[in-house]
Structure 1
């Protein structure tokens, strides 16, 4: 791995941790009825972080020759990303299942991170 792709990977990891921590804090605050996490300034911050996370992720696909059609771990990580997005959306809302959606979103995040580290669809089990 050359210095550029290594820097891209480190940036992607840092953005992923930032995004996870942001969701943990905002989601937990919403679960306890706080309104500040739904402020538009936080939405812009989340959008910017997730956009940069997507750009670095796609760049790593190209630089490291990954493909969701060839690499099962990547395909499942993308499916988990779709599940996380749906659950996170529900968790930040006012519906009666927002706590359950928050839990499922956290589980999807944990799976995505585990798959990213192990490169195994079943997390090496």
Structure 2
């Protein structure tokens, strides 16, 4: 199991950091008027990274035999990921930039990261 788990965790974390970096850069670039922010190739790259994150996350979930019904931190993470995807899509959808959607997506993303690290719904508060 170690031959699978260790590399998969590293890949999952690397993909997550790449996705976060892309999201931050896209938001900042839009503030400076960059036209490439809405380019279809970039959107494909972002979508592909999200697919790979989900696949690696589901693989880890299966390898660890976690059940979201009993692992409440995982349920909270799934809900927050859904909020991140929805607000992130709204922030950059239809070639427009919506600052409120961007900020809400960043907040959801920060919560996802914190829950992933603490494995606590309330983040130890």
Cα-to-partner distance string for 1:41-79 (whole Å, 9 max, x where unaligned): 101111211111111000000001112111100001110
Distance 1:60 1:89 in 2: 26
Structure 2-normalised TM-score?
0.92
Distance 1:39 1:3 in 2: 38
Structure 1-normalised TM-score?
0.92
Residue 82 to residue 67, structure 1, CA distance change in 2 (3 Å): same
Alignment of 1:1-125 (within 5 A): 2-93=2-93, 94=96, 98-125=98-125
Distance 1:87 1:32 in 2: 21
Distance 2:16 2:44 in 1: 16
Gaps of 5+ in 1: none
**RMSD of aligned alpha carbons:** 1.3
Gaps of 5+ in 2: none
Distance 2:121 2:83 in 1: 16
